[in-house]
Amino acid sequence: MVITFIIDSYEESSNGIATSTKRFSQKLIEMGHEIQVVASTVNDEENLKGYNLGVSKVPILYQVSKMQGFTFAKCNKEEIASAIKRSDIVHHLMPFKIERYAKKLCDEYQIPSSAAFHLQPENITSTIHLNKVDSVNKYIYKKFRKFYNKFEHVHCPSNMIKEQLIENGYTSKLHVISNGVSCKFKKKDIIKKKEWENKFVILMIARLSEEKRQDLIIEAVKHSKHEKDIQICFAGKGPIKKELEKCGEGLTNKISFGFYNEDELIDLINMADLYVHASDAEIEAIGCMEAFTCGIVPVISDSPLSATNQFALDELNLFKQGDYLSLRNKIDFWIENPALKAKRSCEYLEYAKKYSINNTAKALEEMFYETIRDFKEHHKQDN
């Protein structure tokens, strides 16, 4: 197949949607498909055809979205049309201007098309401190619904977001397919940084943003009986870094902030002793999956709007949403029970196998084939 991905922001390495799209692209190429990517910027990649639309720099919107690791693409109609005309299927990753225009062309040119739901309303509303206002989140679901209900097949990375879409009136066939983890992520023996040698390293991989709740980790560590021995590491970038630095004042060990390429991240994960995912809202959380794929035991918020808690093997891997004392208790438990943590690590290494990109890319491929089959069948009936 010639598969075309329509995505505003493809080269933003801090953006989970871009990361998963790149991994799916690379794996589908290995599986024999031709991949085209239509985005604001597409760097040269072997066996991948890119259509560069340019970055839309609408004042204020550009600055705010850039801080969140996202850029909107210009709606270059000629480039979008050029890509679509030579496609067997077009897959839309976002619900914005270029994706809406691409869907219009797919219908006009009679090209099969599908979509993916990757953006929770809470990811948007947290930026303006309205993530707890249900009416605002419901309004965004309604706005997005007008776009997604035009597709017969929609990819959902988790059951949680599938249930949210059904609850909000989405009528497409919803395919629950994990974004998957690159085969490069694996357990390896690595020596900790010298300054971390005698420290218990707690890692979270996520954008530094209000809904990710890195602040809970800081408060939990401040109240831990092992505070002097704990090193917090936040892998990611985002708009609340200064707030988190201020929150971390008074810790014995200064918080480590950094943004890492894939190879660096694999090494960093393997230096960690515990992974914490504190987010209130999350469609899946690639970072958590990458961590337990390397055998790092996770502790995850039980928030009903976070799908990440599906990865908890039992209550020992969960803490109460928004409760830093509940998180503190779980951190202390794992520090004080190293033998059980080693056993749980082995359990996660086995559990992680089903989330390999090898398996999830096959599932996405099958969704594409089903989309094409249904399109041809319906088109035949219409004629």
Q: What is the pLDDT of residue 47?
A: 86
Please indicate whether residue 137 or residue 310 has the higher confidence score (pLDDT): 310
Residue 145 burial (C-beta neighbours within 10 Å; 0-12, 13-18, 19+): middle
Q: What is the pLDDT of residue 154?
A: 98
Q: What percent of the chain has pLDDT over 70?
A: 96
Q: How many Cα atoms within 13 Å fall on the side-chain side of residue 138?
A: 6
* Average pLDDT over all residues of the chain: 93
Give the β-pairing of 200-205 and 230-235. Answer: parallel
Question: Backbone phi, then psi, for 12, in 5-degree steps?
Answer: -85, 100
Q: Is the pLDDT of residue 142 over 90?
A: yes
CATH superfamily, domain at 2-180+356-382: Glycogen Phosphorylase B; (3.40.50.2000)
Comparing CA positions, the residue from 73, 140, 75 lying closest to residue 101 is 75
Q: What is the pLDDT of residue 306?
A: 93
pLDDT band at 97 (very low <50, low <70, confident <90, very high): very high
Contacts of 70 (CB under 8 A, 6+ apart): 8, 9, 12, 15
pLDDT band at 137 (very low <50, low <70, confident <90, very high): confident
Q: Is the pLDDT of residue 159 over 80?
A: yes
For residues 334 and 201, the answer to whether their CB atoms sit within 8 Å is no
Q: What is the pLDDT of residue 12?
A: 83
Q: Is the pLDDT of residue 126 over 70?
A: no
Q: Is the pLDDT of residue 133 over 70?
A: no
Secondary structure (H, E, C), 180-226: CECCCCCCCCCCCCHHHCCCEEEEEECCCCHHHCHHHHHHHHHCCCC
194-354 has the same fold as 2-180+356-382: yes
The two three-digit tokens of residue 305, written as one number: 């709007």
Reported as a single tens digit per residue, the pLDDT across 271-303 is 999 999 999 999 888 999 999 999 999 999 999
pLDDT band at 132 (very low <50, low <70, confident <90, very high): low
For residues 111 and 126, the answer to whether their CB atoms sit within 8 Å is no
Q: Is the pLDDT of residue 153 over 70?
A: yes
Q: How far apart are CA 130 and CA 137, in angstroms?
A: 8
Reported as a single tens digit per residue, the pLDDT across 334-361 is 999 999 999 999 999 999 999 999 999 9
Per-residue buried b or exposed e for 68-82, using 16+ beta carbons within 10 Å of the residue's own CB: bbbbbbbbbeebbee
Reported as a single tens digit per residue, the pLDDT across 223-271 is 999 999 999 999 998 889 999 999 999 999 999 999 999 999 999 999 9
Average pLDDT over residues 55-61: 79
What are the structural domain ranges in the chain? 2-180+356-382, 194-354
Query: pTM (2 decimals)?
Result: 0.88
Please indicate whether residue 346 or residue 122 has the higher confidence score (pLDDT): 346
Reported as a single tens digit per residue, the pLDDT across 259-276 is 999 999 999 999 999 999
Q: What is the CATH number of domain 194-354?
A: 3.40.50.2000
Average pLDDT over residues 14-19: 84
Q: What is the pLDDT of residue 119?
A: 86
